[in-house]
A and B are shown apart, each in its own frame.
Chain A
Amino acid sequence: MSLIIDVGMRVSLILGLLTGLSVVVLSLVWVERKFLGRIQMRMGPMVVGPYGLLQPVADAIKLVAKEDLLSPWVDRIVYWIAPLAVFIPSFMIWVTIPISRDIVIRNMDMGLFYIIAFSVLSIVGLVAAGWASSNKYAVLGGFRAAAQLISYEIPLIMAVLGVAMLAQSLNLQEIVNQQDTYVYALVQPLGLLIFFIAGLAEIGRTPFDIHPAESEVVGGPFVEYSGAHWSIFFLAEYINTFAVAALTVLMFLGGWLLPGLSGGAITTVGVLVFFAKTYLVILIIFWFRGTFPRLRIDQLMSFGWKMLVPLSFLNIILTGCYMFYGWPAWLMSIISVTILASVFWLVSKRMNNTKKEYTVHIYKPESLEVKNAG
């Protein structure tokens, strides 16, 4: 009997997490539309509910009530499973993400490793969705997703490793507790930037939304998806966005810790602090979406491999020296900021360079004609 109660309790905990995440996603949709509207000098949603607060609910009802459109050449089984393969890993990550001290479903010693391991799995779903749609744009989108996510996985893991080295732990609770004197963003600004950029690429948000790029591959792997199937992808995307923001907060911005907050209040007020910090990071992500143009696919790949990967290795070496020789923390911050500044200088110099450089070889029409003639 107690086994049934145990299983029931945990399953209901998971269902509670699912409900909570759905509510967060609804709020994110509202915040994003409102914020983008403000950036573009519009009001955003205003009609449904006060300040358009009920707009996401209306959207959700519309999505469920939509007709299920399926092309006859779609591979039914993979088409149905692919959204699950994307959604379940992104949802399972949240099992180990704490929202305050001791408020977590399961505190794992290898929490960060668990999160990285599961975030790889969702790519399978994207590629499978692209293939099952039997649409050339969808397949291209799936290819792009795989290429992008695999290349940005490396700097992401390396940035996480830097934090793990500092905290001497992969446990998220422990990492936050270590930051009570200073947050890791001060010691590792380089790591923070690498993690944030690679995280954005990992969840495929602007400026890295290469795989669902509407103007190039008309929505990528999601072309043939509609209604409930599409809404699962949508849910997963926003849960991932929230997870990247939450991880940034936990690893670099001190999680639920706040100067002046101590004692028993940490657990309760900490939830609010955590959510406030996370939503701030989310606003930065939405701000990027409203203001940045999308990268070209070759720019994305060369940026990942030629810039982020070497920088992340440099970050690891720096952190190792810092740990081994016992450098003062301020020296580490100064070195990190100096590297960042020189990288910014190099990038801006390259961007102002008017001579066009293609990393992908592009045949000019003239050269092709010559070839044909010869």
Chain B
Amino acid sequence: MSLAGIVFYILAVISISMVGVLVLITTNYDLSLAETVFYILAAISLVGALGVVATRNVIYASFLLLTSLMGVASIYLLLLAEFLALVQILIYGGAVIIVILFFIMLTRVHEVKSITDNSQKPFAFITSLLVFGLLLAGILNSNIEVGERSSVPFTELGTSLFTQWAVPFEVASLVLLIALIGAIVIARPKEDE
């Protein structure tokens, strides 16, 4: 019987929609609800991020990465930055697919568990400690103002992107174009083959 499957899927859909509803209705209530929801979302993204480094299975890691990024997207939504949240979902959703594709191309399902520590561990430890220290110092030294949440209409965002910030925008797209052409040149088969 696949009754267990049906029950699992129904429960999962309900619980995920519960989180979504909670995120969306925070504007109707005072800030204490928003704070509670924020802690739930922060826990989701932190657990996801911890899982990425803790698990030995690359596919699990990529799924947990997606969970973590979606948690961050929900936090953007909580801050009424709808556009940023959707961009996060669109871009990192696609990125995680590409990551999974590379994993599948480079590993096999029964080989995954055999990935073990390598000699780069201490260097990785030092680097991450340095980055952590830098971020912590940055956060502690900055005076972040706590203001009211307010949503910016995306038409305003578009206007400022194409007028005030037009040059950085164009430079970014040029860099992407160069990367695209580079990828095509590298992937192209040799003429004499």
CB of A322 to closest CB in B, whole Å: 19
Tell which of B9, B82, B109 touches A87, judged by Cβ atoms closer than 8 Å: B9
Cβ of A229 and Cβ of B2 under 8 Å apart?
A: yes
Whether, in the assembled complex, B171 has its beta carbon less than 8 Å from a beta carbon of chain A, the answer is no
Whether, in the assembled complex, B147 has its beta carbon less than 8 Å from a beta carbon of chain A, the answer is no
Cβ of B82 and Cβ of A131 under 8 Å apart?
A: no
Cβ of B5 and Cβ of A143 under 8 Å apart?
A: no
B29-49: contact bitstring with A at CB < 8 Å (1 yes, 0 no)?
Answer: 100010000000000000000
In Å, the complex CA distance between A254 and B59 comes to: 43
Please give, as numbers and ranges, the residues of chain A lying within 8 Å of B100 by CB-CB distance. 124, 127-128, 131
A99-129: contact bitstring with B at CB < 8 Å (1 yes, 0 no)?
Answer: 0000000101110011011101101100110
Tell which of B5, B16, B83, B109 touches A134, judged by Cβ atoms closer than 8 Å: B109
Please give, as numbers and ranges, the residues of chain A lying within 8 Å of B193 by CB-CB distance. 361
A3-B33, A64-B6 are contacts. A128–B109 as well, Cβ < 8 Å?
no
Interface of A is mostly: helix
CB of B56 to closest CB in A, whole Å: 13
Whether, in the assembled complex, A80 has its beta carbon less than 8 Å from a beta carbon of chain B, the answer is yes
Number of residues of chain A lying within 8 A (CB) of chain B: 57
Whether, in the assembled complex, A340 has its beta carbon less than 8 Å from a beta carbon of chain B, the answer is no
Whether, in the assembled complex, B79 has its beta carbon less than 8 Å from a beta carbon of chain A, the answer is no
Whether, in the assembled complex, B22 has its beta carbon less than 8 Å from a beta carbon of chain A, the answer is yes
B96-111: contact bitstring with A at CB < 8 Å (1 yes, 0 no)?
Answer: 1100110110000110
Cβ of A361 and Cβ of B189 under 8 Å apart?
A: yes
Cβ of A139 and Cβ of B59 under 8 Å apart?
A: no
Please give, as numbers and ranges, the residues of chain B lying within 8 Å of A114 by CB-CB distance. 86
In Å, the complex CA distance between A16 and B181 comes to: 48
Please give, as numbers and ranges, the residues of chain A lying within 8 Å of B16 by CB-CB distance. 88
Please give, as numbers and ranges, the residues of chain A lying within 8 Å of B24 by CB-CB distance. 10, 106
Whether, in the assembled complex, A227 has its beta carbon less than 8 Å from a beta carbon of chain B, the answer is yes
In Å, the complex CA distance between A80 and B60 comes to: 13
In Å, the complex CA distance between A68 and B8 comes to: 13
Whether, in the assembled complex, A228 has its beta carbon less than 8 Å from a beta carbon of chain B, the answer is yes
Whether, in the assembled complex, B175 has its beta carbon less than 8 Å from a beta carbon of chain A, the answer is no
Cβ of A3 and Cβ of B29 under 8 Å apart?
A: yes
Cβ of A7 and Cβ of B22 under 8 Å apart?
A: yes
Residues in B1-27 with C-beta less than 8 Å from chain A = 1-6, 8-9, 12-14, 16-18, 20-22, 24-25
> How many cross-chain pairs have Cβ atoms below 8 Å apart between A and B?
128
Measured as residues with beta carbon below 8 angstroms from the partner, the interface class of chain B is 35 or more
CB of A117 to closest CB in B, whole Å: 4
Whether, in the assembled complex, B154 has its beta carbon less than 8 Å from a beta carbon of chain A, the answer is yes
CB of B54 to closest CB in A, whole Å: 15
Q: Which of B87-95, B115-123, B130-138 interfaces with chain A?
A: B87-95
A64-B6, A68-B4, A68-B5 are contacts. A6–B28 as well, Cβ < 8 Å?
yes
Whether, in the assembled complex, A323 has its beta carbon less than 8 Å from a beta carbon of chain B, the answer is no
Whether, in the assembled complex, B76 has its beta carbon less than 8 Å from a beta carbon of chain A, the answer is no
A7-B18, A10-B21, A77-B60 are contacts. A127–B104 as well, Cβ < 8 Å?
yes
Whether, in the assembled complex, A197 has its beta carbon less than 8 Å from a beta carbon of chain B, the answer is no
In Å, the complex CA distance between A117 and B92 comes to: 10
Whether, in the assembled complex, B66 has its beta carbon less than 8 Å from a beta carbon of chain A, the answer is yes
In Å, the complex CA distance between A64 and B6 comes to: 7
Whether, in the assembled complex, A78 has its beta carbon less than 8 Å from a beta carbon of chain B, the answer is yes
Please give, as numbers and ranges, the residues of chain B lying within 8 Å of A150 by CB-CB distance. 94, 97
Cβ of B110 and Cβ of A73 under 8 Å apart?
A: yes
Please give, as numbers and ranges, the residues of chain B lying within 8 Å of A307 by CB-CB distance. none
Please give, as numbers and ranges, the residues of chain B lying within 8 Å of A134 by CB-CB distance. 109-110
Cβ of B153 and Cβ of A109 under 8 Å apart?
A: yes
A10-B25, A110-B82 are contacts. A84–B9 as well, Cβ < 8 Å?
yes
Residue of B nearest to A108 (CB): B82
CB of B171 to closest CB in A, whole Å: 21
Whether, in the assembled complex, A66 has its beta carbon less than 8 Å from a beta carbon of chain B, the answer is yes
In Å, the complex CA distance between A113 and B88 comes to: 12
Cβ of B189 and Cβ of A121 under 8 Å apart?
A: no
Please give, as numbers and ranges, the residues of chain A lying within 8 Å of B8 by CB-CB distance. 80
Please give, as numbers and ranges, the residues of chain B lying within 8 Å of A7 by CB-CB distance. 18, 21-22, 25
Please give, as numbers and ranges, the residues of chain B lying within 8 Å of A113 by CB-CB distance. 83, 86
In Å, the complex CA distance between A7 and B21 comes to: 7
A117-B86, A127-B97 are contacts. A228–B9 as well, Cβ < 8 Å?
yes
Please give, as numbers and ranges, the residues of chain A lying within 8 Å of B29 by CB-CB distance. 3
A84-B9, A124-B93 are contacts. A110–B83 as well, Cβ < 8 Å?
yes
Whether, in the assembled complex, A232 has its beta carbon less than 8 Å from a beta carbon of chain B, the answer is yes
A1-16: contact bitstring with B at CB < 8 Å (1 yes, 0 no)?
Answer: 0010011001100110
What are 7 sample pairs from A and B whose C-beta atoms fall under 8 A apart?
Answer: A65-B2, A67-B2, A110-B82, A124-B93, A127-B101, A228-B2, A228-B6
